[in-house]
Structure 1
Amino acid sequence: MASVAFGYLPILLFLLVALGLSTAFVVLPMIVSRFTGAHQPNPEKLSEYECGFPAFEDSRAQFDVRFYLVAILFIVFDLEAAFLFPWAVSLDSTGWAGWTGMMVFLAELGLGLAYAWKKGALEWE
């Protein structure tokens, strides 16, 4: 029974080291900022910096469905770009089968873009 428990010792050590390091990376900067004076909140430091203006509504406000549609279209065509680079690099080894497969993939994406365009998904009012 002791040999089974001894087998878990490396995992336990790994978890302890990970817990110690994560605690150190979170707690030590806070302690250092208290001692060095970097932790002095003022209105300028606490102002909004991501969008440039204060939040104007509840965080649970509903967005227009077109926002999500544009986000989904972005993800789809971003993935297309992510697939094109490895395909182009490996085109020598895949040959005509790889080229044909990518052309079918691009045709499907083109049809999807045409459909979204026809439905007015790319129009923003």
Structure 2
Amino acid sequence: MISLLIMSILILMISFIIMMLATILSKKSFIDREKASPFECGFDPISSSRLPFSLRFFLIAVIFLIFDVEIALLFPLILIMNFSSIMMWFIVSSIFILILLIGLYHEWNQGALNWAN
């Protein structure tokens, strides 16, 4: 029990030291406006250096992430099937998949899955 406490304190101290070192080393001593501006062969920049980000691409990525996490959450359900009743397992997994399908239908109905209008 004491070794677990000592190990926990040691891990917390190491993580705190690493966070403090990262904070100290990441600070810039001064900000130079010329170095921060985009360089286009000595000419003034014509347009913004940042390109607009497609919101549709972001929504598709979030939907993919949700279904990717869903697969990771369904694997433990298969493992606990041996330890719990089949009916309880079926109800929990059915509710989980039903919630995901309702969300997918809502996204489809709102037009978030259409790439071209």
State TM-score, norm by structure 1.
0.51
Structure-2 separation of matches of 1:69 and 1:87: 27
Q: Determine the structure 1 residue equivalent to 2:42.
A: none
Q: Determine the structure 2 residue equivalent to 1:107.
A: 98
State TM-score, norm by structure 2.
0.54
**Bigger-Rg structure (1/2):** 1
Q: How many residues align?
A: 75
Task: Point out 4+ residue stretches in structure 1 off by more than 2 angstroms.
Answer: none
- Aligned residue among 21, 26, 51 for 1:61: 51
Unaligned runs of 5+ in 1: 1-6, 20-56
Q: Determine the structure 2 residue equivalent to 1:122.
A: 113
Structure-2 separation of matches of 1:75 and 1:94: 29
CA RMSD of aligned residues (A): 2.6
Q: Determine the structure 2 residue equivalent to 1:37.
A: none
Structure-2 separation of matches of 1:114 and 1:122: 10
**Structure 1 residue 82 and structure 2 residue 72: aligned?**
yes
Listed as ranges, the matches of 1:1-125 within 5 Å are: 58=49, 60-95=50-85, 96-125=87-116
Unaligned runs of 5+ in 2: 1-5, 19-47
Q: Alpha-carbon deviations, 1:30-82, whole Å to 9, x = none?
A: xxxxxxxxxxxxxxxxxxxxxxxxxxx83x32212111111110111001111
